[in-house]
């Protein structure tokens, strides 16, 4: 199938485009197009040293193309690009959070399978509309919660579900992005009216706790601290969320754009769940940032780093270029293979329901709790952390 990626920002550069290039190299993906708002974004993407080093000779079709003014915005171009695709191919949505709903419906109505970065959408009713539209057309919609494809999550899920930990009672998760994010394109969209640190990144851990335990969230409260970005826009750059689950368990999730630029690694993140079974306590603790690797590079001044070998790395495995490895790549491959699976199924609706019930990948039908939590979180943060029921 051919793949059109809507959006050309950080996540497209770091994970999505190289993953599709690898699938193209393997002969699984046909041509790749990327549509961004500005030509300058695509010029940067096409000029990326790391990507061209890994995939020499591989190219994407750029919309807008290089003949147009690189600084002219084209906010509706993705509609034309998607409309021109032959039916039953793949659109990958990597736009800012608040644009997902419209873009996903546009793609479904053009008869395209849809893969979307998280969060799918910001309202549960929107997720329901997407689910309905996709099912009636026999199209797959998958949400890219790549932490699910980290083997430690899959191990935890198996062990939790076979009762090894007991039952989740209290937990904490955190994901702090680097301070420099404030200077990125985030300041143009991750602002108080559209999103917040929890909605943007905390949703990963809410999804993961459900993925591991099978529990459903029942209420949410999010306290946010507003601060100005360098361009003067306001954002909830620090958030503290409390999620109560269907068995009464409580998860605290802290998120921010605050991890010092001088600190090792690209962020700080982890999950701890305290569990109980009879008179014994169970524990699951993941350091999702420090993965046991320490490097010192002989720059001037030298740099101490704790790179994660697990999310997304390029390694040399022979042949030309480099091979992407890690759960970032595996997640995209799994999602894409779901589209292939639907296309080769004799009964597409049945195949869609099977993927929903296996619940390895998040779909609108099997992960509505994510949009419910986000919707409640947005209400809560705007009312100073009031508890909102789902």
Which one of 51-59, 95-103, 209-217, 375-383 is the stretch in contact with ligand NAD (CB under 6 A)? 95-103
Contact string (CB under 6 A) for ligand NAD, positions 130-149, x = contact:
----------------x---
Which C-beta is closer to ligand NAD: that of 194 or that of 323? 194
Q: Which helix (H) or strand (E) holds 90?
A: strand 90-93
Q: Which of 1, 3, 5, 6 forms a contact with ligand NAD (CB under 6 A)?
A: 6
The order of strands in the sheet holding 32-35 is 61-63, 32-35, 3-6, 90-93, 113-117, 141-144
**CA gap 229, 240 in Å, rounded:** 19
Which C-beta is closer to ligand NAD: that of 118 or that of 174? 118
Location of structure tokens 């419209």: 102
Contact string (CB under 6 A) for ligand NAD, positions 180-219, x = contact:
-----xx-------------x-------------------
Q: Which of 3, 17, 32, 36 forms a contact with ligand NAD (CB under 6 A)?
A: 36
Q: Give me the residue whose beta carbon is nearest to ligand NAD.
A: 9
Which one of 5-13, 84-92, 241-249, 351-359 is the stretch in contact with ligand NAD (CB under 6 A)? 5-13
Which one of 90-98, 156-164, 234-242, 318-326 is the stretch in contact with ligand NAD (CB under 6 A)? 90-98
Number of residues that bind ligand NAD (CB under 6 A): 25
Q: Which of 41, 191, 363, 370 forms a contact with ligand NAD (CB under 6 A)?
A: 41
Structure tokens at 374: 């986000």
Which C-beta is closer to ligand NAD: that of 38 or that of 368? 38
Q: Give yes or no for residue 96 binding ligand NAD (CB under 6 A).
A: yes
Q: Which helix (H) or strand (E) holds 67?
A: none
Location of structure tokens 């993705």: 78
Q: Give yes or no for residue 35 binding ligand NAD (CB under 6 A).
A: yes
User: How big, in percent rounded to 5, are the helix, strand and coil portions of the chain?
Assistant: 40, 25, 35
Distance of closest approach, residue 17 Cβ to ligand NAD, in angstroms: 11
According to CB under 6 A, which residues from 304 to 363 bind ligand NAD?
none
Q: Which of 10, 105, 172, 244 forms a contact with ligand NAD (CB under 6 A)?
A: 10
Which C-beta is closer to ligand NAD: that of 9 or that of 217? 9
Q: Give yes or no for residue 19 binding ligand NAD (CB under 6 A).
A: no
Q: Give yes or no for residue 18 binding ligand NAD (CB under 6 A).
A: no
> Please, what is the angle between helix 100-109 and helix 124-137, to 10°?
10
Distance of closest approach, residue 195 Cβ to ligand NAD, in angstroms: 8
Q: Give yes or no for residue 39 binding ligand NAD (CB under 6 A).
A: no
Distance of closest approach, residue 153 Cβ to ligand NAD, in angstroms: 14
Residues 6+ apart with CB under 8 A from 47: none
Which one of 10-18, 162-170, 276-284, 299-307 is the stretch in contact with ligand NAD (CB under 6 A)? 10-18
Location of structure tokens 């009762």: 163
Which one of 31-39, 238-246, 257-265, 366-374 is the stretch in contact with ligand NAD (CB under 6 A)? 31-39
**CA gap 363, 366 in Å, rounded:** 5
3-state secondary structure of 290: coil
**CA gap 292, 91 in Å, rounded:** 36
User: If DSSP states are collapsed to H, E and C, what string results for 206-274?
Assistant: HHHHHHHHCCCEEEEEEEEEEEECCCCCEEEEEEEEEEEECCCCEEEEEEEEEECCCCCCCEEEEEEEE
3-state secondary structure of 185: coil
Structure tokens at 273: 């769940």
Distance of closest approach, residue 134 Cβ to ligand NAD, in angstroms: 19
**CA gap 288, 175 in Å, rounded:** 9
Own/partner pairs, 305-311, CB within 8 angstroms, 24+ separation: 305/264, 305/265, 306/264, 306/265, 307/265, 308/265, 308/266, 310/150, 310/151, 310/152, 311/146, 311/150
Can the peptide bond before residue 301 be classed as cis, meaning omega within 30 degrees of 0? yes
Which C-beta is closer to ligand NAD: that of 38 or that of 113? 38
Q: Give yes or no for residue 38 binding ligand NAD (CB under 6 A).
A: yes
Q: Give yes or no for residue 78 binding ligand NAD (CB under 6 A).
A: yes
**CA gap 249, 167 in Å, rounded:** 9
On the CB side of 152, how many CA atoms lie within 13 Å of its CA?
15
Positions that interact with ligand NAD (CB under 6 A): 6-12, 35-38, 41, 75, 78, 94-97, 99, 117-118, 146, 185-186, 200
């Amino acid at each position: 199938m051919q793949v059109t990626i809507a959006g050309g920002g950080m996540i497209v550069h770091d994970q999505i485009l190289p993953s599709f290039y690898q699938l193209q190299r393997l002969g699984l993906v046909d041509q790749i197009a990327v549509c961004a708002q500005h030509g300058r974004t695509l010029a940067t993407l096409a000029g990326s040293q790391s990507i061209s080093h890994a995939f020499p000779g591989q190219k994407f079709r750029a919309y807008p193309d290089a003949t147009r003014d690189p600084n002219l915005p084209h906010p509706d171009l993705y509609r034309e690009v998607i409309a021109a695709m032959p039916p039953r191919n793949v659109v990958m949505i990597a736009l800012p959070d608040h644009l997902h709903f419209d873009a996903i419906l546009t793609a479904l109505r053009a008869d395209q399978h849809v893969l979307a970065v998280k969060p799918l959408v910001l309202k549960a009713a929107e997720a329901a509309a997407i689910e309905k539209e996709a099912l009636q057309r026999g199209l797959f919609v998958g949400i890219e919660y790549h932490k699910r494809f980290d083997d430690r999550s899959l191990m935890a899920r198996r062990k939790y579900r076979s009762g090894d930990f007991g039952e989740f009672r209290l937990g904490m998760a955190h994901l702090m992005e680097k301070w420099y994010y404030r200077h990125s394109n985030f300041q143009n969209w991750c602002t108080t009216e559209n999103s917040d640190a929890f909605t943007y990144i905390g949703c990963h851990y809410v999804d993961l706790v459900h993925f591991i335990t099978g529990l459903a969230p029942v209420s949410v409260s999010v306290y946010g601290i507003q601060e100005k970005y360098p361009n003067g826009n306001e954002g909830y750059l620090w958030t503290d969320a409390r999620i109560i689950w269907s068995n009464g368990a409580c998860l605290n999730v802290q998120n921010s754009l605050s991890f010092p630029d001088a600190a090792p690694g690209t962020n700080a993140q982890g999950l701890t769940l305290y569990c109980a079974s009879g008179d014994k306590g169970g524990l699951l603790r993941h350091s999702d940032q420090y993965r046991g690797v320490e490097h010192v590079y002989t720059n001037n001044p030298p740099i101490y780093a704790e790179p994660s070998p697990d999310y997304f790395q390029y390694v040399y495995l022979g042949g030309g270029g480099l091979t992407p490895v890690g759960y970032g790549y595996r997640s995209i491959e799994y999602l894409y293979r779901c589209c292939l699976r639907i296309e080769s199924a004799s009964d597409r609706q049945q195949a869609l329901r099977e993927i929903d019930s296996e619940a390895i990948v998040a779909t609108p039908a099997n992960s509505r709790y994510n949009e419910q939590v986000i919707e409640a979180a947005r209400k809560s943060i705007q009312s100073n952390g009031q508890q909102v029921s789902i």
